[in-house]
Every structure is written in structure tokens, then in C-alpha cells.
Structure 1
Amino acid sequence: MTWLVTGGAGYIGAHVVRAFLDQGIGVVVLDDLSSGHAGFVPDGVPFVRGSILDRDLVSSTLREYAVTGVVHVAGFKYAGVSVERPLHTYAQNVTGTLVLLEAMADLGIDRMVFSSSAAVYGTPDTDLVTEATAKNPQSPYGESKLIGEWLLADQAVAAGLRHTSLRYFNVVGSGYPDVYDTSPHNLFPLVFDALLNGRTPRVNGTDYPTADGTCVRDYIHVADLARSHVSAARRLDAGEAIEPVYNLGSGDGVSVGEIMAAVRDVTGIDFTPETAPRRPGDPPRIVASGELAARDLDWAMRHTLTEMVQSAWRARTNA
């Protein structure tokens, strides 16, 4: 039994790879290193550098390593940038998924865990998102993830693909001292980089109808998320019943103000965040229920906010 992890050299993908290894499940990584790092791939794990758009490479990788299932993490993940680069986003996230599914079908590989996103919901009209909440993506990125889910569902009907899609909001923390978030758009890296470069972190909007006036979002630890990917793969391997989609959510959320306070405490760097106006379209609160995933995928919030910040800071300063 060997699982392919596309995007396995990235921040999330690398944690998924190590979670599989911790459970004694063989893995192989396919990554073009457009945002990943070869150093994130553990020694001894087969690493194929290349794009999921390369059909021949995808097919040869699946065949050479006798892959039995795929965790599809690879993709272009920058929602804001996707508005400026929609064609690139669709090529990476939709065409790439299509190529991967075609290659899997040709070789009779019928198991996939898909890394989806809470971006499929857009700005929901409820403050607790469930899997049944209306889908209204507001960026090409969110649209591409929803189309990916549709592709899996259609392939299940056409070819018997067994699959599930995991939707999540803000992934933070680190499970290992040598793997950290390098995204130029995510909150934790932005705050850490500001502090390490002598700048003051910024908060967009302090007048929301929340307890401290800042936005409340779902922040989940990357190691908890990776663990549920393995649980999903195990259910697929065992032929057990599985839902087509799951939210990996906290159920209560954390405010940006609380994150800033935790960063100040953990780093020992005293700062008062700069304030800026609200960003257009930012809702006061978006939090997801993780009840279905807790029932089926061993999902739980095993880390406090302080532990999330501590692990992320430790990995970032160890880089």
C-alpha cells in the first residue's frame, strides 16, 4: 500500500507525508517546488519533481511506485492572487486535478483524499459553517476547489472513484522544527516576518461586532489536519463508509486580536499592532463545525492557541 501525496514538499503536504509515515504507510511525493521545498521531504521518501499537469510524469510515477491512493494537496492556493491570475489558477487546480484523475483511472487507482478549502463557501450568511452551508465561492481559487470536488463526484459515478474532500480555513502551527509556513499571504508568516525584520504587524479592521473588534476565524493546527488526512485514507483503504466532504473546523474560532496577544506572549516581543481599515468583503466571523470529521476522521483540536503559536514560532526561527 503506497499513497502519492501531490504537493508533498509544501507546508501542509509535508505534514501529511510525515503523518502517513508515522502510521507506517508508504508514501511518494510529487511536487514542482513552485511553493514547496525539497528539504521538507523526509529522507528516504521517494521525491519526484514535476507538475501534475505533466500527464506522462504523473502516469509513470503512479506506475513506478505502485500507488494505491492519492492525497491531492498540490494547487495554487492564493485566493487574492487568483483574481489577478484566473487562468493560471484554473490550469493548476482544475486541469491538474483532471490530469491526475485521468491517470488514476487508466491505472485502476480508485482512492483519493482531496485538499479542498473553506473558500468554496465564500462569505456565508451563518457564523457556524456546516457541510450543508450554501457554496458561493468569491474567487477563482474558491471556484477551482469547488470544481475539483465536482470532478471527484462525477468520477465516482462514472468510474467508481472512492473519495472525500476536506475543507478547512486557516492552517497554522508546525508539527516539526524543520517545516514551517512560507506563504507570503498567510497571517502567521506575515506577523513573524514583520517582527523578525523590526516592523510592526498590522490588523485590518478593529471595529467589527466581535468581542475585541477584530475578525474571528477558524485556525487549526497543521498536525491535527494531517492526522485526519491519514484517517480518511485508512477509511478508503478499508472500504468503510465516508462522506464526500468534511469541514475540519474548530467550532468556536479565534480573533485576530487574540492571535496578536498570543504572538506577543510567545515571542517576548512587545508590540502594539498597527491598525488599518477593514478589507472589503471581510465578514466579522466565519467558523466551521467539525462534528462530522470528529465522528469519522479522528478530527479534534488537540492544540491550544498558545501551542499553535509556539510551534509555528519555533519552526520559523529554526529555519
Structure 2
Amino acid sequence: MTWLITGGAGYIGAHVVRAMTAAGEGAVVYDDLSTGIAERVPDGVPLVVGSTLDGERVARALADHGITGVVHLAAKKQVGESVEQPLRYYRENVEGLRVLLDAVTGAGVGAFVFSSSAAVYGMPDVDLVTEETPCVPLSPYGETKLAGEWLVRATGRAAGLSTACLRYFNVAGAAAPDLADVGVFNLVPMVFERLTHSAPPHVFGDDYPTPDGTCVRDYIHVVDLAEAHVAAARTLISSPGRALTLNIGRGEGVSVREMIDRINAVTGHDLPPEVAPRRPGDPARVVASAERAAAELGWKARHDVQDMITSAWQGWVRLHPEAARR
């Protein structure tokens, strides 16, 4: 099997590429490098620079490399930005997916793994989110991911394409320092950035109906997430005609305050958080039920929050050496 991995030069994508090649699968990276980093692509793995909106280039890449499956991660993913630029997000995330699927079905590719998100659920009022929990996304980003799932499943039914939609929860950590998340959009790097400047981390609201008043989230190590992609890809190949929709999380909730305490401990800082007003649309608790992924894929997360923070901090210090000196 040879898999085209769109967005394979990005933070999550680079981990997926390494997991796929380590498992003996062939990989080709397709990335426009708008946020991806070419140096993340391993030696021996071809890199095709292009947009998923360029149907001719996608089709050529599929043909030139004998692609038999696709893992689609390329997308815009900043919630706040999606509110400000909904047309851009629908164009990149939905139209880009439509163009890609058109090329995929035209080339006779048999398997398609789609990068979705827990953002499709919105503000679920349940202790554990299952795949049957109603999807009521709160942002254009979440809407594009839900629309993407619809498009993937409909195309699968019509074209006989095996599909898997993986709903990621909160991704953190790194397999190696050079693969660390370079963005500052998620909790862990946001706290790192504040600590690097000797500033107290921010907690957005401490009056939620949770044990310590702060939001509770399910964190998944990026290495575990990458291994879930390998498991999904292999399941689609071994069982043609499947249409899977799966949560990818640990099934364990950790509060924002608890995460900050753990980050302080790992980094050697002792800066208590500063409470800021709630952010609109933040649900009190979003924790996955990962039972279906275990049953369907034989996959389960192996890394804990300590692993995530420690590995992420090593990557952060590599990029920000001054952080270690504080």
C-alpha cells in the first residue's frame, strides 16, 4: 500500500507519516507548506507541494506515485479565525475536500481516512461523548469538519470507497523535539509561552460546573493519534466497504487548572494561573468515549498526560532555548 498523506508536513501529519512508514506502509506527502515544514518529511518520502484545491495536481500525484489510499489531514483549524473568515474555511476545508475526493474516486483509490474533530459536537451535555452524541458545532471550523464527514461518507457509499472519519480530541506532545507543535493555539503551548515570559498562565473562567471550576478536556498524545491512523488505514484495507466514524481520545478528563499545575511541575515553574473571563462557546466538559475505536481498530491510547507535557516541553525548549533558563 502507498498512502498519500495530505498535510503530512504539519504537526500531526508528520507524526502520521512516521507512524505509517514505521509500520511498513508506503507514504507520499502532499502539502502546500502554508503551515507545514518541509524538513519534517523523512528522507525517502516524496513531497509534492500543492493545494488540495488544485485537482489536476492532486490527480497527477495519485497517478505518479501509484496511490492506493489517502489520509487527509490538510485543513485550516483555528476556531477563532474560522469565525472571522468563514468563507476561507469553507473553501479550504470543504471545497478542498470535494476536489480531493473527486480525484480520489477518479483514480480508483480504495481507502480514505479523514481527519475530523471533537469540534463537531459543540457543547455536549454528557459525561462521555460517544459517536452517537448529537453534533451541534459552534464554529465554522466545526461546521466544516461535520460537512466533511457527510461528504466523505456519501462519497464512500456512492463510489465504493472505504472510509474512516476520526474525531480527534485535544492533541498534545511530540515523538521527538523536532516534531513539536510550533503553533500557539492549544492549551499546552499557550501555557509554555506564558511561562517563557515569566507571565502567569491564563484560565478562561473558573466558575464552570466541574470539580475545580475550570473546563475539563480529554488530551491525546500525538503519537497515539498517529498510531490510530495506521490502525484505521489497515482496517479499511483488510475490510473493504467499511464506513467508520470514531472518537480518538483517552476517555479521561483533565481540568485546565490541573493541566497548568502539571505543566508547572514539569517545567520547574511555580506560576499560579490568572483567571480571565470565560470565552464564548467553551463547553464545561468534553471527554471522549473511546470504546468504539478500541473495538473497531484494536487501538488504545498508551501515553498519559505526563508524557504529553514532558515531550512537548522538550520540543518547546528546542525552539525557545531561553525557556529553559528561566
Q: Any idea what SS the aligned residue of 1:218 has?
A: strand
Per-residue CA distance 1:165-190 (angstroms, 9 max, x = gap): 00022100111221111223211111
Q: Is the 8 A contact 1:212 1:257 kept in 2?
A: yes
Q: Find the counterpart in structure 1 of residue 73 from structure 2.
A: 73
- Percentage of matched positions with identical amino acids: 55
Q: Is the 8 A contact 1:205 1:275 kept in 2?
A: yes
Q: Find the counterpart in structure 1 of residue 322 from structure 2.
A: none
State TM-score, norm by structure 1: 0.97
Q: Is the 8 A contact 2:6 2:74 kept in 1?
A: yes
Q: Find the counterpart in structure 2 of residue 253 from structure 1.
A: 253
Q: Is the 8 A contact 2:160 2:241 kept in 1?
A: no
**2:51 aligned with 1:51:** yes
Q: Distance in 2 between matches of 1:30 and 1:230?
A: 17
Amino acid at match of 1:287: V
**2:227 aligned with 1:227:** yes
Q: Find the counterpart in structure 2 of residue 163 from structure 1.
A: 163
Q: CA deviation at 1:242?
A: 4.2
Q: Is the 8 A contact 2:162 2:241 kept in 1?
A: no
Q: Find the counterpart in structure 2 of residue 178 from structure 1.
A: 178
Q: Distance in 2 between matches of 1:283 and 1:104?
A: 36
State TM-score, norm by structure 2: 0.95
Per-residue CA distance 1:238-282 (angstroms, 9 max, x = gap): 125745200012222111111101111110112111111222222
Amino acid at match of 2:283: P
Q: Find the counterpart in structure 2 of residue 34 from structure 1.
A: 34
Q: Find the counterpart in structure 2 of residue 298 from structure 1.
A: 298
Q: Distance in 1 between matches of 2:61 and 2:243?
A: 28
Q: Is the 8 A contact 1:29 1:45 kept in 2?
A: yes
Q: CA deviation at 1:220?
A: 0.6
Q: Distance in 2 between matches of 1:301 and 1:211?
A: 25
Q: Distance in 1 between matches of 2:252 and 2:193?
A: 27
Q: Any idea what SS the aligned residue of 1:301 has?
A: coil
CA RMSD across the alignment: 1.3
Q: Any idea what SS the aligned residue of 1:178 has?
A: helix
Q: Find the counterpart in structure 2 of residue 128 from structure 1.
A: 128
- Structure 1 range deviating more: 36-45 or 241-250: 241-250
Q: Any idea what SS the aligned residue of 1:223 has?
A: helix
> Displaced runs of 4+ in structure 1, greater than 6 A?
none
Q: CA deviation at 1:76?
A: 0.5
Structure 2, gaps ≥5 residues long: 320-326
Q: Any idea what SS the aligned residue of 1:217 has?
A: strand
Q: Is the 8 A contact 1:227 1:298 kept in 2?
A: no
Q: Any idea what SS the aligned residue of 1:124 has?
A: coil
Q: Is the 8 A contact 2:174 2:315 kept in 1?
A: yes
Q: Find the counterpart in structure 1 of residue 62 from structure 2.
A: 62
Q: Distance in 1 between matches of 2:147 and 2:29?
A: 24
Matches within 5 A, 1:262-301: 262-301=262-301
Q: Find the counterpart in structure 2 of residue 20 from structure 1.
A: 20
**2:216 aligned with 1:216:** yes
- Structure 1 range deviating more: 232-241 or 22-31: 232-241
Q: Any idea what SS the aligned residue of 2:287 has?
A: strand
Q: Distance in 2 between matches of 1:109 and 1:242?
A: 14
